[in-house]
Amino acid sequence: MPKKLTLTDAIFLTMRDGSWWTFWDLQRVIREKTGSFYGEPTISAGIRNLRKDAYRTKYGLPYTGDTVERRRKHGSKGYEYKLIGANNG
């Protein structure tokens, strides 16, 4: 039986394409792919996990420097996030 993905796994697999993602975009795609719903605070925690050494090692992310870039969404109070340093694909 395949191992169930963790939320951080699902976030990494979704974000590794190098696109900009909002919490709501991630929420929608993860729900479509896994059937599980996660709120914004939980998704935020999963994104923060991508900055931790254990996850950098697990996903082959650079050990130094930033792994997630954040920018304000144009015309909104929200933010978009982009995974950097991943082998996209």
Amino acid type, 5: L
Burial class for 39, CB neighbours closer than 10 Å (0-12, 13-18, 19+): exposed
One-letter amino acid at 24 equals W
pLDDT band at residue 88 under the 50/70/90 scheme: low
Residue-level pLDDT at 52? 95
Q: Residue 77 has what pLDDT?
A: 83
pLDDT in tens, 39-87: 999 999 999 999 999 999 999 999 888 999 999 998 888 999 999 987 6
- Which has the closest alpha carbon to 4: 24, 33, 39? 33
Does the model's pTM come out above 0.85?
A: yes
Which pLDDT score, from 0 to 100, does residue 46 have? 97
Do residues 77 and 66 make contact, with C-beta atoms less than 8 angstroms apart?
A: no
Residue 3 has pLDDT above 90, yes or no: no
**H or E element that contains 79:** strand 79-83
Domains and CATH numbers, the chain: 7-83 (1.10.10)
C-alpha–C-alpha distance, residues 78 and 74, integer Å: 8
